A and B are shown apart, each in its own frame.
Chain A
Amino acid sequence: MTRYAVPYADPYLLPMVALLSAIGVTMIYRLNPDDAFRQSLWIVLGVLLFALTLLTLRRDYRIVESYKYLFGLGALVVLALPALPGIGQTINGARLWVKIGPLQFQPGEFAKIMLIVFLAGYLRDKREVLAQGRLKDFGPLLVIWGASMLVLVQTNDLGSALLQFGIFLAMVYVATGRVTYAAAGLVLFVIGAAAIYTVVPRVESRVSVWLDPWADADGAGYQSIQSLFSIGNGGFGGTGLGRGTFTTTDGNAIIPFLNTDFIYSAIAQELGLVGSAALLLVFMLFVARGMRVALMADDGFSKLLAAGLTFGFALQAFIIVGGVLRVIPLTGITLPFVSYGGSSVVANFVLLAGLMLVSNRANARA
């Protein structure tokens, strides 16, 4: 299929994704066989959507650039969906689910990709003027970004907010080549974060748990602490697949959300430092290959698109694994291709399709 649609695409990307998905399904199967079956179905659906994307856009994916504002608007609409009464669902304190009939999904995952397409298109157009620093050119950018942040904070989905803000900064930096923009963005972020810290109690508790999880070991810090115990228990070689401890003596789960947000602590326990480092290495290689695609691409839109998609992928992995490892405050978000979750798997396969389309074009011309 890929040989037909994208014969010149990077040959490493798809196998690495296959490996990550396989590790994910294996781990989920060990934790909950029913979830693993559903996850497999999601992977099949993801691959179908991946194929569909490749087939429809194989001639020239750059036509999506013409619809960039549509994508930007789409991202906002999709992000706002969970906030709508009737179809929005609040699960685990975050309003980031949409339920239409039997179908339930997290639109945030798709909004991420739409946002990247919009940013790639818009920044390609405006990168020269933006680099000159005229404020009015930042208008649409700030509007889109501000609106999406507002929606995210309103839905309590801090992980996605962090992710989208990071992607935004990275792409502006790539487009303008000005570190000051990224730095200014970071300063803005710190100010914003400090403001949110005092206003949103959820953020405050996340940060205090991050600073000292032992202060409330049975309450707010419980999940984070037990996750660290799980990782520590793995040691160098891990306990071995199926030999880890995830339930108490009466059969209750020790760590809540083990196969979504905390799948990394399950992997770290059973596969140990060897296994988890190998997993991170796959992520690193994927990032390296993705950035290579961006470097090889010969038009601005393609470069921005590939860089945005790749960095989004890297940052998402960093936010959740870093959160689990207490490198940064913990915010719930999926580990791409590994965590259990339909929306995440499907959206990330679309992300992969995007990268492969760009690399196909770049390699075909070379």
Chain B
Amino acid sequence: MNKPIARLAVVGTSMMVLLVVATTYWQAWAAGGLADRQENQIERVAQFTIKRGRIVTKDPAAVLARNRPKRVAGRTLFFRQYPPGGLAAHVVGYSTQARYRTGLERSRNDYLTASNQNLSTLLESSLDKLKGATIEGNDLVLTLNMRAQRAALQGLAGRCGSVVALEPQTGKVLVMASFPTYDQNVIEGNYGALQRIQAPCNPVAPLYNRATYGLYAPGSTYKVVTAAAAIDSGRYTAGSRFHDPGYCEVYGRRVNNYDTTRPFGNVDLRQALVNSINSVFCNIGKELGSKLLVEYSKRFGFYETPPLETPDNERVASGLYDDGKLFDPKLDSDVDVGRFAFGQERLLVTPLQMAMVVGAVANGGVVMEPRVIDRILSPKGTILTRSRADELRRAVKRETAATVASMMRAVVESGTGTAAQVPGLVVGGKTGTAETGVAGTNNAWFIAFAGRERPEVAIAVVLEQQNGTGGQLAAPIARTVLQALLPGAANS
């Protein structure tokens, strides 16, 4: 019987060898793939054993996300807490077990959990892991000004819409407000509370960052782009003469001014912008053609998702939309260029994009990449990365930008945007009242730059589904935010 026993012994020991091989497979070969799987509960829990970095602002100092330690089954887990309860919810986002992550909490998770491929962080966190110490993440310092952020939300005053303010020379995002907003602290335990948020717009969609994900017809604010294109192409100057009969004809159809009963008669381009005369821009559009207009839009950043540190899927590109998709006209006749030229047709833009447009005008024609993270600090407080001001591209010539800026200043001095005047500040702006196709539900816009001597802020304000005009409704919000951003100005 010894021969079969010996064979059986081989079978028995081989089974154990096979198990060692299988264990090696799972622990060495497949381990990485397993860790990346979304269903992995251990990895999900492991994220909470890390003391995530905080998200803060420095000027004025405020904490936007911090940790709340809690003992669970003999270990300390760190859960997120968001003190301002919705003040910058769309930028910061949330990090929870139940709903995963959004906002910077998602896109900068690697830095916040110290798992980024930075040599010193990596070394430190693996040392911590060996020692069994708690891994500490890195802090994000944002460029937001929370005083102005609060002013923006108060200015929106329960109306749906968004405010974006940038520093034109650097692209720093100073304000990024979106209403309705939500309290990030309810996401984990009380997600249903989101459904009960009410706001006078449809859809309410409190989770959307309207500043980067909301698409609105820009209306007359787009005339800034049209005017810049007209002058930059060399075909017009600020003094070019026009005759306004109160309407303009495109392909045999009449396009009316905002107020058709009071035609302006003989005007120049500057006066056309100051009084926001549709017929003039309609005629400029016909002259330039839609392809050139699209070309200039692209120079300002249209037709690409604007760069920002928030997740890619929380931002959208601006441009002509057809059936929910961006569309780039092949022929001039693909688009009703007359209406396109004053921001109607199928043109849809994000508030961030319009802030970039006005930022470029205020920055000598150069569009800066918007950014909301100023620097990233290690747990010890040393700076890991500091974000630099990066040019997106030059949109128009310096002289063009200067001309358009002076025209915009005239809008606030004596035109449709007088509500945005701030004592001690030089303000240039453009109003917009975009028709959405449903009567009495206009988008009220105001875009502006402002500063004590040179422009220090570029701002875009939009309100959804309003009855009034941009000059009446949106410009005062811009004024409040500008006062919060440039507090010294009111005294001088």
- Footprint of B on A, CB under 8 Å? 170, 173-175, 177, 217-218, 225-226, 228-236, 240, 243, 245-251, 254, 268-269, 272-273, 276-277, 280-281, 283-284, 287-288, 291-292, 294-295, 300, 303-304, 307, 310-311, 314-315, 317-318, 321-322, 325-327
Which of the segments B25-33, B324-332, B477-485 contacts the partner chain? B25-33
**Residues of A with C-beta under 8 A to B27:** 231-232, 234-236, 268, 272-273, 276
- Chain B nearest CB: distance from A205 CB in Å? 18
Are A232 and B35 within 8 A (Cβ)?
yes
**Complex CA–CA separation, A229 to B46 (angstroms):** 12
Are B1 and A321 within 8 A (Cβ)?
no
**Complex CA–CA separation, A214 to B185 (angstroms):** 32
Q: In terms of DSSP, what is the predominant structure of the interface of chain A?
A: helix
Q: In terms of DSSP, what is the predominant structure of the interface of chain B?
A: helix
- Given contact pairs A225-B39, A231-B26, A249 touches B45 in the complex (Cβ within 8 A): yes
Are B34 and A325 within 8 A (Cβ)?
no
- Given contact pairs A229-B34, A325-B22, A311 touches B16 in the complex (Cβ within 8 A): no
**Complex CA–CA separation, A235 to B126 (angstroms):** 14
Contact of B13 among A234, A250, A288 (CB under 8 A): A288
Are B16 and A280 within 8 A (Cβ)?
yes
Contact of A249 among B16, B22, B48 (CB under 8 A): B48
Are A291 and B19 within 8 A (Cβ)?
no
- How many inter-chain contacts with C-beta < 8 Å in the A-B complex? 161
**Complex CA–CA separation, A66 to B79 (angstroms):** 67
Find the residue from B4, B28, B37, B132 having the highest chain A CB count within 10 A. Answer: B4
Are A218 and B39 within 8 A (Cβ)?
yes
- Chain A nearest CB: distance from B146 CB in Å? 30
- Footprint of A on B, CB under 8 Å? 1-6, 8-9, 11-13, 15-20, 22-24, 26-28, 30-31, 34-35, 37, 39-46, 48-49, 72-73, 77, 79, 97, 132
Chain A residue with minimal CB distance to B33? A232
**Complex CA–CA separation, A170 to B1 (angstroms):** 12
- Given contact pairs A218-B39, A231-B26, A284 touches B17 in the complex (Cβ within 8 A): yes
Contact of B16 among A283, A300, A304 (CB under 8 A): A283
Q: Which 7 interchain pairs have the tightest Cβ spacing? A: A291-B9, A232-B34, A284-B16, A314-B12, A325-B22, A232-B31, A287-B12
**Residues of A with C-beta under 8 A to B3:** 177
**Residues of B with C-beta under 8 A to A272:** 27
**Complex CA–CA separation, A174 to B8 (angstroms):** 8
**Complex CA–CA separation, A280 to B12 (angstroms):** 12
Are A228 and B5 within 8 A (Cβ)?
no
- Chain B nearest CB: distance from A277 CB in Å? 5
Contact of A236 among B28, B40, B41 (CB under 8 A): B28
**Residues of B with C-beta under 8 A to A240:** 132
Are A248 and B45 within 8 A (Cβ)?
yes
Find the residue from B28, B42, B72 having the highest chain A CB count within 10 A. Answer: B42
Are A318 and B15 within 8 A (Cβ)?
yes
Are A170 and B8 within 8 A (Cβ)?
yes
**Complex CA–CA separation, A280 to B155 (angstroms):** 69
Contact of A318 among B16, B26, B31, B44 (CB under 8 A): B16
**Complex CA–CA separation, A308 to B17 (angstroms):** 20
**Complex CA–CA separation, A356 to B372 (angstroms):** 73
**Complex CA–CA separation, A243 to B16 (angstroms):** 27
- Chain A nearest CB: distance from B245 CB in Å? 67
Other A-B pairs beyond A280-B19, A288-B13, A303-B5, 12, CB < 8 Å: A173-B8, A228-B30, A229-B37, A232-B31, A248-B44, A249-B48, A249-B97, A250-B72, A283-B16, A287-B12, A315-B15, A321-B19
Are A287 and B19 within 8 A (Cβ)?
no
Chain B residue with minimal CB distance to A250? B72
- Chain A nearest CB: distance from B287 CB in Å? 60
